[in-house]
Chains A and B, each alone.
Chain A
Amino acid sequence: MAQETEKEILDLKEVTIRFAGDSGDGMQLTGSQFSDTTALMGNDLGTLPDYPAEIRAPAGTLYGVSGFQVHFSSSDIHTPGDTPDVLVAMNPAALRKNLVDLKRDGIIIVNTDSFDSKNLKLAKYDKNPLEDDSLTGYKVYQVPITTLTSTALKDSGLSFKDIDRCKNFFALGLMYWLFNRPLEPTLNWLTSKFKNKPEILNANETALKTGYYFGDTTEIFENRYAVEPAKLKKGIYRNISGNEATALGFVTASLKSGLPLFLGSYPITPATEILQYLAGYKNFGVKTFQAEDEIAGITAAIGAAFSGSLAITTTSGPGVALKNEAIGLGVMTELPVVIINVQRGGPSTGLPTKTEQADLLQAMYGRNGEAPIPVLAAATPSDCFYMAIEASRIAIKYMTPVMLLTDGYIGNGSEPWRIPHANEIADIPVKFATEKEGFAPYSRDENLARPWVRPGTPGLEHRIGGLEKANITGNVNYDPSNHDFMVKLREEKIQNVKNDIPDLTVQGNTEGELLILGWGGTYGAIKEAVDKATSKGIIVSQAHLRYIHPMPKNTKEVLSKFKKILIPEINLGQLAKIIRSEFLIDVLQYNFVRGLPFRSSDIENQIVEILGGKNGK
């Protein structure tokens, strides 16, 4: 499809585009199609879907605006971009809400058809911003997207409503032209998606091509742009979101352990996709149980764990609040179960579709009694794959519930992933007790894990439960000294995980003035900030925790080599609190809780400010 054009193609190193429109305008689809095609072109990329909790908020309103940001580059990048270079605004509300983030000389492509008095009023514009000087400084391209789409589809036989729904493909086609991307990946996607609806398929194809050719033939665009492929590590890549990577990670853990995978779950934003993906993997023997509530989700998983499955439950913060009693049961009965919390804005229902990191203390301490569990956190969308496998491995080896924290940003966001071959992933050893001789349900192996028994094993019938147990026999025991012993034993068992996880590594110098310490989904923003500061001659190091409880053995040693430690977190300082209490090391905090990932420039500014012009030397 890449046609010869007379217009000059300018090479750019990186571009950030934000697609914005009404919730019903299909912006998420447009953005993810653009991202997938861009990934296939070999660019590195990061995405940020940002949509309202309402499925279809009233059309034209500010709170109904849905956006999708994609950042792509010819080099290694780690964020969805701080400030968009290009804004595609399908209506006045989308323009008004997103203009503030746009670069000062950025490109705006607006659908002029939607700038009527009704929509302007809904967007709280007194005057049409296309007709006054409020957009001075930006490159504004006014395109009557609705009219052009309707004209192209007037003979399609579709209703006015159906035709209107194709306008996002016109916009997508135009962006493909402007950024020199092929149409084929989206055409192929349309063909498989609408194979049973030929009229919809044809209409969307036509809209996409019309948008593309419009760019080619119209006089309004002076240039096209290209972004060369990134020089990524050799290998085969796919674009992947954190939620899909999580699902794939657990299927992999199931096959690598030889245990059937059982997911007990109740739909909750932004974790539902993991359930949706896993529900499709029936030919991998995956059993998904869409439970009546969050509690049934985890208790069914605990039942499956008792029966010898790799058992997991997926949820977000409010769901964890409901599951915590059952997690305590998992601690007491010492059964392997992985709880995945795709964190969102809280408290309560909070910001269901927005990201946050404020469930760390809940993961660590949210249960009654002393109920320690390993807590892991994925750093990027593709890291969710590896951390899902790690969470499974630790749960099985130590016979314990494990909490895996991801968040709305890395769960929904995507990045190119260098796919590992199946044989590069280590097996997860599983040992079921089968011998009657010497069997005791709460006996201990060298890691302090108790034996796992599949019901159906003759002679090993035994009872477990939530009441305190005597060590070895597993009999109910209320003896004061036994309780003290068991509380400490359960803690020691979890601390043993320390011996089994990689050391904390430092990017940059291993000692110096300033270390930026992060955890979870802020990895990309911190990395980009540190990289940019370093390229300007500032000396600053980065370390990122993926294992939070217990932490890597060398954590204190790493931290003690720096004069200052800055912890940026999308909460009020939860990791900072843990670091202070664990190590008696003071830290600086950087906390913003806006429901959005950090801007790397904000972290970079913090670095500069802390170093006070000293450049870290």
Chain B
Amino acid sequence: MANNIDEAPVKLTAKDFSSGQDVRWCPGCGDYSILAQVQRSFPEINIPKEKIVWVSGIGCSSRFTYYMNTYGFHSIHGRATAIATGVKIARPDLSVWVATGDGDLMSIGGNHFIHTCRKNVDIKILLFNNEIYGLTKGQYSPTSAKGLVTKTSPYGSVDYPFNPLSLALGAGASFVARTADTEAKHMQEIIKRAAEHKGTAFVEIFQNCVIFNDGVFDPITDKVNKAEKMLMLKHGEPMLFGKENKKGIKLDGFKPVIIDLNNGANSVNDVWVHDEKDTSHARAFILAHLADDPELPTPFGVIRQEFKPTYDEGVERQITHITEKKGVGNLESLLFNGNTWEVN
């Protein structure tokens, strides 16, 4: 297992990860699915629950920490990734997770988010993206679609939204993935992949807010639309979608286009094969922006995974190296260091 964390001695179950607190999200909220998938997948990541720390900021998503029977810290708005960074640097032996929302992470916490990604701090960030401010009762967020009518945009929002995947890629996150609250099995797989990754793992989860932005992802994730609109990425496999997987994405230079495999003119060999480990940043960005063209499907799965030393490892390595070189620090010699003189 990655993370240098001890194996769990006893096989845990989903129930072991429930804190027993009453869950207080609105009935039908997508957050219930995320909590369930995390609790179902955590027994399989083989990390003892006392070694897991959940950190959250403010918002509906951030209540998540109270429901997990691990160490937890429900903090202040936007600062979860900075607190998690402190936890991980201080204690590299812990598995550190952040539950956050689009306001918490992309707006007030934007600065901490990009710098966490840049430094490749070994923490896992689950973004509950519902494209709305829920806890403050329905204002547009930095991921809301342009034109969205909300309480603070009664004539439609004039803001352009962030593309969270693109932002994470641009900031240098070493693991970037997307899943949806409607895709239980897929989410569990992605959570396990994030847990195994060493470095900043960013997972965007399409999460439905039943009260203030209900159905915002239906055009993509709804049962009737998903075959045509969800592109499920698998490493080393061609990007196929549509009914019976008869459509594919082809890269025409830098331009992704849909090709039809039914008409005999195209073969599966023409289809873009997904490579998570692709070192070319260009293709990861093309994927992140695939659905900018409304004709194209929205990709789900691991967009990019890169292996590079983490920040916390770097800190530890430097301490070890300098300590080997200088010897373990001695207080007496530290105090009496430099130019001293004696008064008799």
Contacts and interface: CB of A to CB of B under 8 A. Distances in A.
Contacts of A235: 342-343
Contact of B65 (A236, A302, A465): A465
Contacts of B68: 463
Interface string A224-255: 00000100111111110000000010011001
B136 interface: no
Interface in B57-102: 58, 65-66, 68-76, 79, 82-91, 93-94
B112 A329 contact: no
A475 B24 CA distance: 14
A419 interface: yes
A466 B112 CA distance: 19
B294 interface: no
B340 A285 contact: no
A287 B316 CA distance: 9
A419 B341 contact: no
B341 A42 contact: yes
Contacts of B327: 283
Interface string B306-344: 000000000100110011011111011011111111111
A215 interface: no
B267 to A, nearest CB: 49
B66 A476 contact: yes
B339 A303 contact: no
A570 interface: no
Which size bracket describes the interface of A in this complex? Answer: 35 or more
Contact of A302 (B50, B83, B328): B83
Nearest to B344: A234
A289 B73 contact: no
B112 A302 contact: no
Contact of B87 (A284, A285, A307, A421): A307
A16 interface: no
A41 B74 CA distance: 56
A264 interface: yes
A314 interface: no
Interface stretch (A129-137, A291-299, A393-401): A291-299
Interface in A244-295: 248, 251-252, 255, 260, 262, 264, 281-285, 287, 289, 291-293, 295
A205 B245 CA distance: 79
Interface in B114-130: 115
Contacts, number: 201
A248 B335 contact: yes
Contacts of A467: 74
B112 A422 contact: no
A458 B341 CA distance: 51
B74 to A, nearest CB: 3
A262 B51 CA distance: 20
Contacts of A456: 50-51, 91, 93-94
B334 A251 contact: yes
Interface string B34-60: 000000000000001111010100100
A225 to B, nearest CB: 20
A296 B89 contact: no
B19 A299 contact: no
Contacts of B115: 291-292, 296
A229 B115 CA distance: 53
A429 interface: no
A462 B328 contact: no
A299 B79 contact: yes
B326 to A, nearest CB: 4
A325 interface: yes
B73 A291 contact: no
Interface in A440-471: 454-467
Interface of A: 36, 39-42, 185, 229, 232-239, 248, 251-252, 255, 260, 262, 264, 281-285, 287, 289, 291-293, 295-296, 299-309, 311, 325-326, 329, 333, 418-422, 454-467, 475-476
16 contacts: A36-B339, A41-B341, A185-B339, A238-B338, A239-B339, A248-B335, A251-B329, A252-B335, A282-B322, A284-B334, A289-B85, A293-B111, A296-B111, A307-B91, A308-B91, A467-B74
Given A251-B331, A295-B79, 6 more contacts: A238-B337, A238-B339, A262-B89, A303-B86, A306-B83, A454-B91
Interface of B: 19, 21, 48-51, 53, 55, 58, 65-66, 68-76, 79, 82-91, 93-94, 111-112, 115, 315, 318-319, 322-323, 325-329, 331-332, 334-344
5 closest Cβ contacts across the A-B interface?
Answer: A303-B86, A465-B74, A300-B86, A284-B329, A463-B72
